[in-house]
Structure 1
Amino acid sequence: MNTDFFIDLLHEVKEFEHSGACKPGHTVEDFRLWLNDKKYRSESPTTLFRNENHAAALTENEICKQVLLLSRYSRQLIRKGLSSIPELANEEFTYLYRLKDEPSLTKIQLIERNGHEKQTGTQILKRLLDYGLIEERHDEADRRSKRLKLTKKGEDMFHRSVEKVDMTSQVLSGSLDTDEKDQLLVLLRKLNEFHAHVYSEHRHSEVSRILELIR
Structure 2
Amino acid sequence: MDRGEQQLIDLVNAWAKYSEATPDADVAGFCLHYLTETAQPAVLNQHSPVASPDGLYDEKWVESLTGTANRSLTEIRPSSRLAALVGRLSKYGYFYSKKAMFPLNFKSIEEPVYLIVLAQMGTPKKSELIYEMMVEFASGIDVVNRLVGMGYIEEFPDENDRRSKRLRITEAGLTILQECFPVMNRVADVAYSSLTEGEKALLIQILDKLDRYHAEHYKLSKNAGFDEVYDRMVT
Verify same fold: TM over 0.5.
Answer: yes
2:86 to 50, 55, 67: 67
Unaligned runs of 5+ in 1: 1-42
Kept after mapping to 1: 8 A contact 2:125/2:167: yes
How does 1:11-90 map onto structure 2 within 5 Å? 44-46=45-47, 49=49, 51-52=60-61, 55=74, 58-87=77-106, 89-90=108-109
Which has the bigger relative contact order, CA under 8 A and spacing at least 6? 1
User: How much identity, in percent, do the aligned residues show?
Assistant: 26
- 1:143 counterpart SS class: strand
TM-score, with structure 1 as normaliser: 0.71
Q: In the TM superposition, what whole-angstrom CA distance separates every residue of 1:67-103 from its partner, at most 9, and x where no partner exists?
A: 1101111110111122211225342111011112222
Rounded Cα–Cα distance in structure 2 between residues aligned with 1:204 and 1:54: 36
- Distance in 2 (CA, whole Å) between partners of 1:198 and 1:174 is 32
Corresponding residue SS for 1:205: coil
Give 3-state SS (helix, strand or coil) of 1:136's partner.
strand
Establish whether residue 116 from structure 1 lines up as the match of residue 135 from structure 2. yes
Task: Give the 3-state SS of the residue equivalent to 1:124 in structure 2.
Answer: helix
1:130 maps to which of 149, 157, 173? 149
The residue number in structure 1 matching 2:120 is 101
- Check if 1:202 corresponds to 2:221: yes
The answer to whether the 8 A contact 2:46-2:75 is kept is no
Amino acid at match of 1:44: N
Give the alignment partner of residue 144 of structure 1, picking from 147, 158, 163: 163
Please provide the CA RMSD for this pair.
2.3
> Aligned partner of 2:234: which letter?
I
The 10-residue stretch of structure 1 (75-84 or 190-199) with the greater mean CA deviation from structure 2: 190-199
- How much has 1:65 moved relative to structure 2? 0.6
Residue from 188, 198, 202 that aligns with 2:207: 188
| 1:45 aligned partner, one-letter code | Q
CA distance in structure 2 between the aligned counterparts of 1:190 and 1:144, rounded to whole angstroms:
39
- In the alignment, which residue of structure 1 is the partner of 2:38? none
Summarize the Cα distance change of 1:80–1:102 in structure 2 as closer, same or farther, 3 Å threshold.
Answer: same
Aligned residues: 172
* 98-107 vs 62-71, greater mean Cα deviation: 98-107
Q: Mark the CA change 1:54 to 1:107 in structure 2 (over 3 Å): closer, same or farther.
A: farther
Q: Contact (CA 8 Å) 1:79, 1:89: kept in 2 or not?
A: yes
Alignment-derived partner of residue 15 in structure 2: none
Please list the CA deviations of residues 39-78 of structure 1 after superposition, one character each: whole Å capped at 9, or x if unmatched.
xxxx8224x5574297576111101110110111111011
Q: Does 1:214 align with 2:234?
A: yes
Cα contact 1:49–1:56 (8 A) shared by 2: no
> Structure 1 counterpart of 2:197, which letter?
T
Residue 198 of structure 2, aligned match among 179, 186, 196: 179
CA contact (8 A) 2:157 2:166 kept: yes
